Amino acid sequence: MKVHLKTLGCRLNEAELETWAQAFQKSGHQITKQAEAAHLIVINSCAVTQDAARKSRQLIRRIHRDNPQAKLVVSGCYATLNEDEAASLLGVDLIVSNKDKDQLVEKTLAELNMDSMPALSAEPGEISLFTRGRQRAFVKVQDGCRYRCTFCIVTVARGEESSRPVQAVIDEINALHRQGITEVILTGVHLGGYGSDLGNNLSDLIKAILAETEIPRLRLGSLEPWELPDDFFKLFDNPRLMPHLHLPLQSGSDTVLRRMARRCKTEEFAAIVNQLRAQIPHFNITTDIIVGFPGETEQEWQDSFNFIKQTGFGHIHIFTYSSREGTKAASLPDQLGNDIKKQRSRQLHELAEEMKLKFFADNVGHEFPVLWEGYSEALDDGKQRVFGYTPNYLKVGCVIGNDMSVENQTLDCVITAVDEGCVVGTLVE
């Protein structure tokens, strides 16, 4: 049977797709990138905003329209929060809620009568890393969140915190490494809460991975900037742990952060950033910002803007606040008009671009080991432009000859210039 897997939303959704792909393969089924060729299609939906829920509905309808013969399974946050609505959409054969995601493959094969004897008696020789190419893989280590930020629906959809045992994570990473994967990214809904139900913590997990695997590169997914273990910062002394963190700030105003029920004040956030940058030059901090949160005054916006500018970020994901049914923020007074939100969003986009280009420029002249991707752009004169990522997650473009292949290799590169969307590098001979 040919299975097509599709996701909307976060890196955790992508990590879950990787896990399902392996489980379908172990059951003797084949993963296909062509939805129209599939006998079974699984959609991992998103509901982080009303717009994400709308896109999930649109995707379900389009997938069914393009391949009405395929069985269609829907999971994820949209399907969990709006189960009846999702189940009623044309073509949907099965809903698997977030609490049953670990059994999605078994439930799908059993309930849709698609179970079969595995074609292979051993583990398949190639894992289907369809979301990020052959170089890196997302590994889900944790699900759920004990906190209730007032704007967030995901904690409602994902439920209570649950951590995977350390050994299970290590076994998965070692299996990925044997398949040729060079870099893994640890993901979770509240990654910093890893181990709260196991009696250990994120630092313990990272230490174990560094000690018991030989994966060359380890990255962390989005990490809330609080409850970091005391020894967390020292972990970055190991060059295998990549010097890039995505720390969601959400606002640079302490009064707005209080209304959001965030657990990190700007002063504490600044201390984390300063410690990381003092320890490792060119440490890349990226973040999320919500613009136009209910009640955000002009003064609060200016305070937020100034703190963001003062901190400096390599990249910002900017979200214009939209009311989300089921969250506390939806009932807060003084909801802002679209004109104000758009104006502030434009301001922040301009600042974010300036800061990104400054961070690019700060890295010019420095040499980094770059993990090269599998895609390239053809150029004239027998040349090609290849792309890869530095440890601090700068995208690098480099011109090499067509007779060279650098895919999935880590080769040193000197950053020589800044280009649109990336930096330019030259391979070190």
Residue 44 identity: N
- CATH of residue 25: 3.40.50.12160
Q: What separation in angstroms does the CA of 42 have from each of 6, 81, 417?
A: 6, 17, 42
Task: Name the residue among 31, 8, 11 with its Cα closest to residue 105.
Answer: 31
Say whether both 87 and 183 belong to one domain: no
Say whether both 339 and 210 belong to one domain: yes
Residue 79 is assigned to a structural domain of this protein: yes
Residue 116 is assigned to a structural domain of this protein: no
pLDDT tens, residue by residue, 283-310: 999 999 999 999 999 999 999 999 999 9
Say whether both 324 and 243 belong to one domain: yes
Residue 118 is assigned to a structural domain of this protein: no
pLDDT at 127: 40
Say whether both 184 and 294 belong to one domain: yes
Say whether both 165 and 58 belong to one domain: no
Task: Name the residue among 191, 189, 197, 181 with its Cα closest to residue 245.
Answer: 191
Say whether both 350 and 410 belong to one domain: no
Residue 128 is assigned to a structural domain of this protein: no
Say whether both 348 and 376 belong to one domain: no
Q: Identify the domain containing residue 423 by its residue range.
A: 367-427
Residue 122 is assigned to a structural domain of this protein: no
E strand map for 222-326: 244-246, 284-291, 315-320
Say whether both 169 and 65 belong to one domain: no
Residue 353 is assigned to a structural domain of this protein: yes
pLDDT at 91: 83
Which of these three, 345, 362, 379, is where a domain ends? 362
Domain count, the chain: 3
Say whether both 169 and 295 belong to one domain: yes
Those residues whose C-beta lies under 8 Å from the C-beta of residue 211, and which sit 6 or more positions away, are none
Q: What separation in angstroms does the CA of 29 have from each of 95, 107, 368, 369?
A: 20, 15, 40, 37
Residue 37: DSSP 8-state: G
Number of CB atoms found within 10 A of residue 287's CB: 24
pLDDT at 133: 52
Which of these three, 329, 362, 395, is where a domain ends? 362
> CA angle 399-386-405, nearest 5°?
95
Task: Name the residue among 236, 147, 130, 132 with its Cα closest to residue 188.
Answer: 147
Contact 239, 229 (CB under 8 A): no
Q: In b/e form, how buried is each residue of 249-268, taking b as 16+ CB within 10 angstroms?
A: bbbbbbebbebbebebebee
Which of these three, 362, 377, 401, is where a domain ends? 362
Tokens of 304: 């937020």
pTM exceeds 0.85 for this model: no
pLDDT tens, residue order, the chain (429 aa): 889 999 887 778 888 888 898 888 887 888 888 888 898 999 999 888 788 888 999 999 999 888 888 889 999 999 998 888 888 888 888 999 988 888 898 888 888 876 443 333 333 333 444 444 567 888 999 988 888 889 888 777 777 889 999 999 999 999 999 988 999 999 998 999 999 999 999 999 999 999 999 999 999 999 999 989 889 999 999 999 999 999 999 999 999 999 999 999 999 999 999 999 999 989 999 999 999 999 999 999 999 999 999 999 999 999 889 888 888 998 999 999 999 999 999 999 999 999 999 999 999 999 999 999 877 888 888 899 999 999 999 999 999 998 888 988 999 999 999 987 789 999 998
Say whether both 11 and 153 belong to one domain: no
Tokens of 145: 């969140």
Q: Which helix (H) or strand (E) holds 266?
A: helix 266-279
- CATH of residue 233: 3.80.30.20
Specify the 3-state DSSP secondary structure of 400.
strand
Residue 81 is assigned to a structural domain of this protein: yes
Say whether both 377 and 341 belong to one domain: no
Residue 126 is assigned to a structural domain of this protein: no
pLDDT at 116: 41
Q: Which helix (H) or strand (E) holds 142?
A: strand 142-143
Say whether both 339 and 396 belong to one domain: no
